[in-house]
Amino acid sequence: MLFSMTGFGRGFCEKNDVYVETEIRGVNHRYLDINIKIPKQFSFLDPFIRRFVQGKVARGRIDLYIQIKLLGAKGKKVELNVELASLLWDEIKRLSSELKSPMPNLGYIIREILTVEEAPDEEEVREAVEEALNEAFNHFLSFKKEEGERLRRDILKRLGKVEEFVDKAVSLADIAVEETKKKLFDRLKELNIDDQRIAQEIALMIDKLDVTEELVRLKSHIEAFIKTLEAGSPCGRKLDFITQEMLREANTLGVKAATTFLNHLAVDMKAEIEKIREQVQNIE
C-alpha cells in the first residue's frame, strides 16, 4: 500500500468527563518530524503521543494539535485562603466606612483569593486522548492512501513513457553508431589517412558512442523502481535514490548520443524522470 506524506484528519472523544479534540496535518519532509501542541498541564502525554505517531507514520512532517477539557468538577481542586479572606474583608469594611462608600460584592473579593487547580487522572486522560488519536489517524491514513494511489497511477504512467523512450533508444543506438561510423570512414578516406589509422579512430569513436551499458542500466533501474513501488510505503527515499540513478544514466546517454534524434530522446527521457522524481518527493 502506497502512502502520500500529505494528509489531514480529526478526532474527538468524550470519556469519563474528559473531552479531547485532535487535529493532524501531514506534509512532505525528508525524515519524520513530529510537532505536538498540547496544553501545558497535559505535557506528561508527550512521550506517549510521540510513540503513537511513530507507530503510524514513517516519514513526513506531522503537526498534531490536541485540546483537552475536564468537564464539570472533574479533577478540580478548590482552595480558599480563609485567613487572608478575613483580613481582606476587615480592611474593605474599614475602607468603606472611611469613604462612606457601599461595600463591594463578596463574590468579587472571593475570586481574588480563590485558587482553582486541575489535577486530572492521568490514565483517564491518556485513554481519552488515545481514542481521539485513533479516530484522527483513521481519517489521516485514509487521506494519505487515496493520495498515494493517485501518485502511483501518475508515476506508472510516466514510467511507461520512459520505458518507451528506452526501447526506441535501443533500436536506434546501433543504427546511429553505424551511420556515424560510415561518415567518419568517408571523411578520413578523403583526408588520405591509412587504413590502420582509420580503424583505430573508428574503434575509439565506437567506444565513446556506445550507449549499451547506459540503456541496460536504465532498464534495470526501471525494474527496481516498479518492484519498490509495488512493495508499498515506506519506500519514498529508496525511490528517490533510484530516480537519481536513472537521471544519471539519461544524462550520460544524452552526452554520448550519436545522432540528434537520439539526443532528443534522452532529453525527453530526462524530462519524464524529473517529473517522476517530483512526485516521489510526496511518497512516504
- Domain shared by 140 and 155, yes or no: no
* Secondary structure of residue 103 in the 3-state scheme: coil
Which of 14, 275, 10 has the alpha carbon at shortest distance from 142? Answer: 10
Which of 2, 1, 15 has the alpha carbon at shortest distance from 135? Answer: 15
- Return the higher-pLDDT residue of 42 and 193: 42
Residue 79, judged by CB atoms within 10 A of its CB (0-12, 13-18, 19+), counts as: exposed
Please state, for a pLDDT cut of 70, what percent of the chain lies above it. Answer: 74
Please state, for a pLDDT cut of 90, what percent of the chain lies above it. Answer: 52
pLDDT value of residue 168: 86
Q: What are the tens digits of pLDDT across the range 197-226?
A: 655 655 566 556 677 788 889 999 999 999
Q: Average pLDDT in the 39-59 region? A: 93
- Domain shared by 132 and 61, yes or no: yes
- Domain shared by 86 and 168, yes or no: no
Distance CA 179, CA 200 (A): 17
Instruction: State how many domains the chain has.
Output: 3
pLDDT value of residue 272: 94
Range name among 104-108, 162-166, 225-229 with the lowest pLDDT average: 104-108
Residue appearing with cell numbers 494511489? 149
- Domain shared by 100 and 217, yes or no: no
Those residues with Cβ within 8 angstroms of residue 48's Cβ, 6 or more apart along the chain or in another chain:
126, 129, 130
pLDDT tier at 196, thresholds 50, 70, 90: low
Answer whether residue 2 is part of any domain: no
The domain containing residue 136 runs over which residues?
Answer: 7-72+121-145
Answer whether residue 111 is part of any domain: yes
- Domain shared by 27 and 95, yes or no: no
pLDDT value of residue 22: 96
- Domain shared by 138 and 13, yes or no: yes
Q: What are the tens digits of pLDDT across the range 101-119?
A: 776 666 666 666 555 556 6
